[in-house]
Amino acid sequence: MGAPQETSRYAGPIVDVHTHPRLAGFPAIREKPHRLGDYLRAAKGLDLRYVGALVIAQRGKMSKTRQMNDRALALQSRKPPTYLPICSVHPDDGAAALEEIDRVAGRGARGLKLHPNTQQLDVADAAVREVVARASEHGLPVLFDAYSPFDADQPGKFVRLAMEVPTAKLILAHAHGPHFADLLVYTILERYDWWGRNVWVDLSATGPLLAASPFREQFVWVLRQVGADRLLFGSDYPLDEPRHAVEAVASLGFSPAEQTKIFYQNAARLFGLPRAPLPRAGRRPG
Q: Please give the chain's pLDDT, 286 residues, in tens.
A: 344 434 467 989 999 999 999 988 888 888 888 998 999 999 999 999 999 999 999 999 999 999 999 999 999 887 789 999 999 999 999 999 999 999 999 999 999 999 999 999 999 999 999 999 999 999 999 999 999 999 999 999 999 999 999 999 999 999 999 999 999 999 999 999 999 999 999 999 999 999 999 999 999 999 999 999 999 999 999 999 999 999 999 999 999 999 999 999 999 999 999 987 554 444 433 3
Which of helix, strand or coil describes residue 276? coil
DSSP string, 70-130: HHHHHGGG-TTTEEEEEEE--GGGHHHHHHHHHHHHHTT--EEEE-TTTTT--TT-HHHHH
- List the domains of the chain with CATH numbers: 6-285 (3.20.20.140)
Closest to 226 measured CA to CA, from 185, 168, 271, 268: 185
Peptide bond into 81 cis (omega under 30): yes
Q: What is the pTM of this model?
A: 0.93
> At CA 170, angle to CA 168 and CA 174, rounded to 5?
175
Q: Are 155 and 176 in contact (CB under 8 A)?
A: yes
